[in-house]
């Protein structure tokens, strides 16, 4: 595995051990399954890394902290202002018919 994956072998193994894939869990994350699926696990790891990078870029672009949990909740005054704006647009649409 280290010959084919080189310096990424430990990262691939760690990704495999964190995986909740049904088959890996059923096989108790055994070494044989990792060796058999090494290239697949590597591809999944790279895809997950790419997604994490994209999400971090989006968060930075939107000036939001990167979090592993739920999305940040807007302050009540921001929510009220947004709802007021929507209500105003809806009212104008209903009265003007456009």
Contact 56, 66 (CB under 8 A): yes
Contact 9, 1 (CB under 8 A): yes
Reported pTM: 0.56
Task: For the chain, give every domain's residue range.
Answer: 2-69
Q: Quick one: tokens of 97?
A: 């018919």
Specify whether the backbone of 63 is left (phi greater than 0), alpha (psi in -120 to 50) or beta: left
Q: Where are the alpha helices (DSSP H) in the chain?
A: 2-5, 9-18, 22-26, 31-36, 38-61, 76-96
- C-alpha 43/C-alpha 35 separation (Å) is 14
pLDDT digit string, tens, across residues 38-96: 999 999 999 999 999 998 888 888 876 655 555 555 566 766 777 777 777 777 766 66
């Amino acid at each position: 595995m280290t010959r084919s994956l080189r310096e990424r072998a430990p990262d691939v193994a760690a990704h495999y051990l964190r995986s909740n894939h049904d088959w890996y869990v059923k096989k108790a994350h055994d070494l044989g399954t990792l060796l058999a699926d090494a290239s697949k696990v590597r591809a999944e790891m790279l895809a997950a890394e790419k997604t994490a990078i994209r999400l971090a870029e989006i968060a930075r672009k939107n000036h939001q902290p990167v979090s592993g949990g739920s999305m940040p909740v807007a302050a009540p005054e921001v929510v009220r202002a947004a709802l007021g704006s929507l209500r105003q647009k809806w009212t104008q649409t209903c009265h003007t018919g456009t």
